[in-house]
Amino acid sequence: MRRRQGENTRSVRLPPAATPLPGPLGLPVWRSSAWSFADSAEQAETFGEKGPGSIENPTVAAFAAAVASLEGAAAPEDVAGQAFASGMAAVSTVLMTFLGTGAHVVAPAPLHAGTYSLITKVLSRFGVSADFVDYAGLHRVQEAVRPNTKIIYAETLSAPAMAVADIRSLYRIARAAGALLVVDSTLATPVVCRPLEHGADLVLHAATSYLGGHDDCAGGVVVGRPGLVARLREVAADVGGELSPDDAFLLRRGLETLPLRVRRMCATAMVFAAAVAKHPAVSRVHYPGLPGHPGHELGRHLFDSGPEGTRYGACVTVVPQGGYEAGVRLADALRLVSVAATAGGTRTKAAHVASAGPRQPGEGGVDAAAVRFSIGLEDAEDLIADVTAALDSLPASRIQRA
């Protein structure tokens, strides 16, 4: 007669789940954080070849591989991916992997606030130096390069002025300097631009924004050549920042509707920007889809297009007349649009730029009244009506009417 095990043993040694047949179309969520080996030899072989951080959760790996597939659709080389718990976890691991004491990085001004703070307040304590320059003048980038420059950092689309990075020219500068070109493409997504096709070595996303797309999960991801991603993975295992399988599931699911969402957002942003630019209380509108924007022609050649035209992204910065107070009043007068600092998501959001924190180099030319809109999936007419009513309430609008 078979010996009956104790109740505690039976509770923790439950039968494993059966492999479903036919196979599921949905991505399984593997919540396990521990993995068993057939024997010690298999464990030694696994850790000996790749290290303790080599065991990646299958759900997380599926998300990273999916982004690599989208970004590397026409890349000249194979593309691999590594996922992280947040966009800043992705940024910090990239910089810690490829920068060391005495290294130098060139970055755009202004830069995403979190990345700027990481470089100036954290990495600077470990001997990393940086120059922040206006990428509108590529000669400034070239002049900033030093013999110890290891990374040239760029943003495909950079808020709040919605500047467009000349990735192809930056690639040539990086190659001549023997540096890596790292591109944050969060605001563009692979639906607008795939920097690997234009020479970028690594592309990163704060997946929280558009890749997930529903404001209900957080994550980051980096994609690039397998050799570079392998080095990144080694450091990631040491510093942490692993993406949870539940967030990975939501992010991976969001990718299936990414083209539908981003194409619509870009089309709405174009209509929105053109309409708002005509309001008498508006000083100017920053959106590369508008012919007068400095990055319009560059974007027309760099960005993808479809029946709706070239996709210039879904963020629009509106600058009302009247300075800081006008910007605050515009944001606070909105009724349909939510006041929030994040981009992406199905709902349109607005953020008064100057209220987001202290200024950094390159922001001197950004008006204190600027309000950035992250366009969602609402009807364009409703968004235009909401911002028009808010603009009508500003003193500058009343003066114009008088």
Q: What DSSP string describes 116-163?
A: HHIIIIIGGGGT-EEEEE-TTSHHHHHHH--TTEEEEEEESEETTTTE
Q: Measure the CA–CA gap between 385 and 181, rounded to whole angstroms.
A: 41
pTM: predicted TM-score of the whole model, two decimal places: 0.92
Say if domain 259-401 classifies as CATH 3.90.1150.10. Answer: yes
357: left (phi over 0), alpha (psi -120 to 50) or beta: left
CA atoms of 149 and 156, how far apart (whole Å): 20
Q: Are 66 and 243 in contact (CB under 8 A)?
A: no
| 304 HSE (CA, 13 A, CB side) | 20
pLDDT at 212 over 90: yes
Taking CA atoms, 255 is separated from 69, 185, 208, 209, 269, in Å, by 11, 15, 12, 12, 20
**pLDDT tens profile 240-251:** 899 999 999 999
Give the mean model confidence (pLDDT) for residues 344-367.
83
Which pLDDT score, from 0 to 100, does residue 399 have?
57
pLDDT bin (cut points 50, 70, 90) of residue 379 is very high
What pLDDT was estimated at residue 222? 98
State which amino acid sits at residue 9.
Answer: T
Dist. CA 138–CA 376, nearest whole Å: 33
Evaluate if residue 192 carries a pLDDT over 60.
yes
**46 vs 315: which has the higher pLDDT:** 315
How far is 107 from 114, CA to CA, in rounded Å?
13
Give the residue with greater pLDDT, 49 vs 380. 380
Q: Identify the pLDDT of residue 146.
A: 98
The DSSP element (H or E) to which 372 belongs, if any, is strand 371-374
Secondary structure element (H or E) that encloses residue 167, with its range: helix 167-177
- When pLDDT is averaged across residues 378-382 and rounded to a whole number, the result is 98
Residue 370 to residues 19, 69, 316, 355: CA-CA distances in angstroms? 54, 36, 10, 10
Domain boundaries of the chain, sorted by first residue: 50-255, 259-401
Q: Are 109 and 254 in contact (CB under 8 A)?
A: no
Q: Give the contacts of 13 (CB within 8 A, at least 6 positions apart).
A: 5
Domains 50-255 and 259-401 share a fold: no
Lowest model confidence (mean pLDDT) among 70-74, 276-280, 380-384: 70-74
Question: Which pairs from 252-257 meet CB under 8 Å and 24+ separation?
Answer: 252/27, 252/59, 252/62, 252/63, 252/66, 253/27, 254/211, 254/212, 254/213, 254/214, 254/217, 255/63, 255/66, 255/67, 255/70, 255/211, 257/213
The domain 50-255 is placed in CATH, from the list 3.40.30.10, 3.40.640.10, 1.20.1630.10, 3.30.230.10, at 3.40.640.10
**pLDDT of 362:** 67
Question: What's the CA gap between 360 and 379, in Å, rounded?
Answer: 35
pLDDT of residue 356: 78
Radius of gyration of the chain (CA): 23
255 and 66 Cβ atoms separated by less than 8 Å = yes
Beta partners for residue 306, in sequence order? 309
